[in-house]
Structure 1
Amino acid sequence: MTTSAFSVHSIEPFPEIKEGAPLADTIIRTLSEQNTQLQPGDILVIASKVVSISESQHVDLATVTPSSEAVDLSAKTGKPAELVQLILDESTSHFLTTDRGPIIARHRLGHQLTSAGVDRAEPGGAWLLPADPDASARRLRDELTATAGVPVAVVIADSDGRPDRRGATVIAIGSAGISPLRITEAPNGKRQEETFTDMVAATAGIVLGQRGRGVPVAIVRGVTYGSSDDGVGSILHHPANPSSPQGAAGSCSSETAG
């Protein structure tokens, strides 16, 4: 599984995705308008936010009632209490990286993410992560492959902060058609597991989603990879708990109060 060179290019301009709009159809239509064709083995890296918009994962903050814990965290971090409540509702545990945040939370799906992947939407709303990012990736892969007539892989990417440093990187939260791990082996027999879909997501992150850029989809071409539908969920240390009742922030355990 050796890759010596590859290319990454964004699909732009890309139209604004409306809530509930069919994302795969929009991608194919945009590629056609730009006289671009998918090639066998292409990896489409798609920003999680447009997947959430397509899947109507919107919450009106006016419908959210903050708990006392959310109010306390709001005072520390400067985030609206309603938004903090959503973070708590979407997570099973959390901690602050500094006295004023950011909030690092373990999402119900098992991912550890800044703000549990909750993305503020103006005015007065927020976008949650896709309900099942691996399932979303499989559905998009199937639709794109069927329409384009060539086998492709899909990685759903999300921006994420690091507890030990400033700034954000890009990680994979869902995948289809590509093994989430790559195993490399040295001549002495030492083996190393690499979070391969994270590498792909971070590579695409160089051209994806900078503020104001409005580019939610990139094509990574020329990467050698194993085909798998195991998904990112298969490599998480903590299993998904998607049935956790929302709105029970008072029961969320805090690993540290900052």
Structure 2
Amino acid sequence: MIQIHPLGSIPEVRPSDDLARLLADAIEAAAIVPGSFDVLAVTQKIVSKAEGRFVDLATVRPGPEAMRLAGLTRKDPRLVELILAESSHVIRAVPHILITRHRSGHAMANAGIDQSNIGPGSGERVLLLPVDSDASAERLRQTFATLWPTPPAVLIMDSFGRPWRHGVTCVALGASGLPSLVDRRGECDRDGRTLEVTQIAVADMVATAAGLVTGEGAEGMPAALVRGLHWTAASQPASALIRPVEQDLFR
């Protein structure tokens, strides 16, 4: 049976905080001892905060392309300049919407740059994604390995919109210690037919499950431990979930 344990006893995270220690304290406060196949799902926001990924918009000087896109999308030109700096290319730009391919490969709104829930007195500050979310997840797990005999897998998640569907759901930006993508091609279904295209986005599924308790608003629940999973596939980072540009189905 799958269990999702919310971890709410985490204080406001600030740059240079020892995030691994804060998360470990929250796990211990919940009277949980990590075991095999446990997954610690952590919101991207607290990882970015601990890594100091804040930018003050007052320091940003927009260039000509940012000014052009700002006029088209009706967004702050300074924000658009940051979005362009974090992106490899623009996918869609219409009023109030700017979709780009983040330099990590994720296709997302505003390059993942956010101003919500980034702490009191934020002013004109915005928060960028981690530089390398898979590396951030791996660092956390390595620290957990010094604290527990069986460290949990670590998943860094964020909320994404989806084409053709209303509402956001959580996806994995970074992962360590679990198979983010399980390839079942070549296996047979119950009728003996060979699976030809089936690949399972395990990390995204776990992220969405954890998102049921972490929330999107004022819940104040930045992490959750997911228990009851099992896998035999080798570990893969979240980057394994990103479809290569040459396989883009919608260009």
Under TM normalisation by the shorter chain, which class is it?
0.7 to 0.9
Distance between the aligned counterparts of 1:226 and 1:86, measured in 2?
A: 41
Please name the residue that 1:62 is paired with: 58
CA contact under 8 A between 2:89 and 2:100: conserved in structure 1?
Answer: yes
2:237 aligned partner:
231
Cα deviation, 1:137-185, whole Å, max 9, x if unaligned, reads: 1111111232122132111101111233332111111111111112343
Q: Matches of 2:152 and 2:132 in 1, distance apart? A: 20
For structure 1, the residue ranges without an aligned partner over 5 or more in a row are 240-254
TM-score for the superposition, normalised by structure 1:
0.83
Name 1:244's counterpart in structure 2.
none
Q: What stretches of structure 2 of length at least 5 have no aligned partner?
A: none
Q: Which moved more, 1:185-194 or 1:71-80?
A: 71-80
Shift of 1:73: 2.9
Question: Which residue matches 1:206?
Answer: 212
TM-score by length of 2: 0.86
Following the alignment from structure 2 to structure 1, what is the Cα–Cα distance between the partners of residues 98 and 144?
A: 35
CA distance in 1, matches of 2:234, 2:59: 40
Aligned to 1:136: 136
C-alpha separation in 2, matches of 1:150 and 1:111:
31
Q: Give, in whole Å, the separation in 1 of the partners of 2:71 and 2:221.
A: 33
Q: Which amino acid aligns with 1:81?
A: P
Judged with a 3 Å threshold, the aligned counterparts in structure 2 of structure 1 residues 81 and 226 are, in CA distance, closer, same or farther, namely farther
Cα distance in 2 between the residues matched to 1:199 and 1:73: 34
SS at match of 2:95: coil
Q: Mean Cα displacement is larger for which, 43-52 or 116-125?
A: 116-125
Q: How do residues 94-105 of structure 1 correspond to structure 2 at under 5 angstroms? A: 94-96=90-92, 99-105=94-100
Which residue in 1 is equivalent to 2:182?
182
Q: Give me the whole-angstrom Cα distance separating, in 1, the residues matched to 2:216 and 2:204.
A: 18
**Residue type of the partner of 1:178?**
L
Q: Among 97, 104, 107, which residue is 1:109 paired with? A: 104
* Residue aligned with 1:92, SS: strand
Could you tell me how far 1:229 is from its partner in structure 2?
A: 4.2
Query: What is the aligned-residue RMSD (CA, Å)?
Result: 2.2
Relative CO higher for 1 or 2, CA cutoff 8 Å, sep ≥ 6? 1
Superposition misfits of 4+ residues, deviation over 4 angstroms = none
Equivalent residues in 2 for 1:156-175 (5 A)?
156-175=156-175
Equivalent pairs, count: 236
